Structure 1
């Protein structure tokens, strides 16, 4: 067959994820940069909250694209590979915490990256965003 069906995030899902992520970041008192990409790494939605570090938008995008590329948390990249792969990809791939894959019915449909807080804060905000679509 020459055509494949695939799942993709709706606009409503992207907005729900961003809304939930912003709420979680506000709850923990850490403004964040949040980026959502599709499975090919194209940005579908992003926000830099007031007070978030502006350079964290770049790391959040790298985290989202990495998670979408490998289908796993960014920290799954082995530590000894982290710096060389970041250098080889000009920062497009990272092992910094805060990048999670977006899976639906076992299918990889994208990635979310969060940056500006500690790795634990970034992951908490990313998980909150995923929770926004997990019950759907």
Structure 2
């Protein structure tokens, strides 16, 4: 039987704090979502001034990243490069940059999704959160 790493409550708090710090340092009003490897929500924080829709987009990006085992930018690029049929893929939402998987020993153990600013800035915040784990 194999064993796997999982995100602990302490890990989630570290990710959330670092992601929030990155957003605040740049004066970006965003929502930050953290999910486990199955896309189940572990944390959600909507910063002051973040658009209400971002509270739906961030978890969708995180879930898609976790379940797809890759950054959501991959899906955005697939669609932008003309494969629009990919929009019909089941259980996938939030196919915009800003969902980033948390990878330990080559295995995805969760993901962070951010929404509220430009897509590359969303990803920057997510990656800053993940970096707090020191992986």
TM-score (norm. length: structure 2): 0.88
Q: Does 1:55 align with 2:53?
A: yes
1:22 Cα offset (Å):
0.6
- Contact 1:85 / 1:94 at 8 angstroms: preserved in 2? no
User: Would the alpha carbon gap of residues 86 and 47 (structure 1) be closer, same or farther in structure 2, given more than 3 Å must change?
Assistant: farther
Alpha-carbon distance in structure 1 between the residues aligned to 2:67 and 2:133:
20
Counterparts of 1:1-40 in structure 2, within 5 Å, are 3-40=1-38
Alpha-carbon distance in structure 2 between the residues aligned to 1:94 and 1:31:
18
- Contact 1:35 / 1:112 at 8 angstroms: preserved in 2? yes
Q: Does 1:101 align with 2:124?
A: no
Alpha-carbon distance in structure 2 between the residues aligned to 1:84 and 1:52:
31
* Aligned residue number for residue 67 of structure 1: 65
Which 4+ runs in 1 deviate beyond 6 A? none
1:94 Cα offset (Å):
2.9
Paired residues, what number?
131
* Aligned residue number for residue 119 of structure 1: 119
1:70 Cα offset (Å):
1.3
1:95 Cα offset (Å):
2.1
- Secondary structure of the residue aligned to 1:114 is strand
1:113 Cα offset (Å):
0.3
Structure 1 unaligned regions, length at least 5: none
1:111 Cα offset (Å):
1.1
Alpha-carbon distance in structure 1 between the residues aligned to 2:96 and 2:5:
27
1:69 Cα offset (Å):
1.1
